[in-house]
Amino acid sequence: MEMIKETSLQTELVDIRRHLHQNPEVGMELPATKEYVWQKLVEYGYEPQDCGKMGITCTVGQGEKVFLLRGDMDALPLSEDTDLDFRSENGAMHACGHDMHTTMLLGAAKILKEREAELTGIVKFLFQPGEEILQGAKDCIDAGILENPKVDAGAMIHVFPFKGLPLKHVFVAPAGTFMASADWYEIIVEGVGSHGSMPEVSIDPINVATKIYDALQTLSAREISSAERFVLTIGEFVGGTPGSSNVIPNSAYMKGTLRTLKEEVRQQIKKRMVEISESIGQAFGANVTIDFTNGCCSNEIDETVTDTLKGGLEKAFPTNVLQEAPLAVPMMGSEDFGEISHRIPTTTMLITAADTELMLHNPKIVLDESVLEFGANVYVEAALSYLESV
Which CATH number fits the domain that encloses residue 249? 3.30.70.360
* Domain limit, last residue, from 261, 280, 296: 296
My answer on whether 120 and 18 are in the same domain is yes
Indicate which CATH number applies to the domain containing 322.
Answer: 3.40.630.10
Q: What percent of the chain has pLDDT over 90?
A: 95
Q: Does 236 map to a domain?
A: yes
Residue 119 to residue 108: CA distance in whole angstroms: 13
Q: What is the predicted pLDDT for the residue at 358?
A: 97
Confidence band (pLDDT; 50, 70, 90) for 71?
Answer: very high
Residue 228 to residue 226: CA distance in whole angstroms: 5
Q: What is the predicted pLDDT for the residue at 345?
A: 98
pLDDT of 3 strictly over 80: no
* Domain limit, last residue, from 281, 296, 311: 296
pLDDT of 315 strictly over 50: yes
Q: What is the predicted pLDDT for the residue at 5?
A: 55
Q: Are 190 and 213 in contact (CB under 8 A)?
A: no
Please count the structural domains in the chain: 2
My answer on whether 164 and 249 are in the same domain is no
Q: Does 2 map to a domain?
A: no
- Over residues 105-131, mean pLDDT: 97
User: pTM for the complete prediction?
Assistant: 0.93
Residue 367 to residue 375: CA distance in whole angstroms: 13
| 215 φ, ψ (degrees, to nearest 5) | -65, -40
pLDDT of 280 strictly over 60: yes
My answer on whether 271 and 127 are in the same domain is no
pLDDT of 287 strictly over 60: yes
Q: Does 164 map to a domain?
A: yes
My answer on whether 169 and 261 are in the same domain is no
Q: Does 308 map to a domain?
A: yes
pLDDT of 247 strictly over 70: yes
Question: What is the secondary structure of 174-227 as a DSSP string?
Answer: PSEEEE--EEEEEEEEE-B-EETT-GGGSB-HHHHHHHHHHHHHTIIIIIS-TT
* Domain limit, last residue, from 246, 270, 296: 296
pLDDT of 4 strictly over 60: no
My answer on whether 288 and 303 are in the same domain is no
Q: Does 3 map to a domain?
A: no
My answer on whether 165 and 27 are in the same domain is yes
Q: What is the predicted pLDDT for the residue at 120?
A: 95
Residue 78 belongs to domain spanning: 8-178+298-387
Residue 27 to residue 84: CA distance in whole angstroms: 24
pLDDT of 225 strictly over 70: yes
Q: What is the predicted pLDDT for the residue at 221?
A: 80
My answer on whether 35 and 172 are in the same domain is yes
What is the tens place of the pLDDT at every residue in 7-60? 899 999 999 999 999 999 999 999 999 999 999 999 999 999 999 999 999 999
- Over residues 158-183, mean pLDDT: 97
Confidence band (pLDDT; 50, 70, 90) for 227?
Answer: confident
pLDDT of 1 strictly over 60: no
My answer on whether 339 and 261 are in the same domain is no
pLDDT of 2 strictly over 80: no
My answer on whether 313 and 372 are in the same domain is yes
- Over residues 247-264, mean pLDDT: 97
Q: Does 366 map to a domain?
A: yes
CA angle 309, 311, 317 (to 5 degrees): 95
Q: Does 142 map to a domain?
A: yes
My answer on whether 270 and 204 are in the same domain is yes
My answer on whether 238 and 302 are in the same domain is no
pLDDT of 130 strictly over 90: yes
Q: Does 1 map to a domain?
A: no
My answer on whether 272 and 323 are in the same domain is no
What is the tens place of the pLDDT at every residue in 86-101? 999 999 999 999 999 9
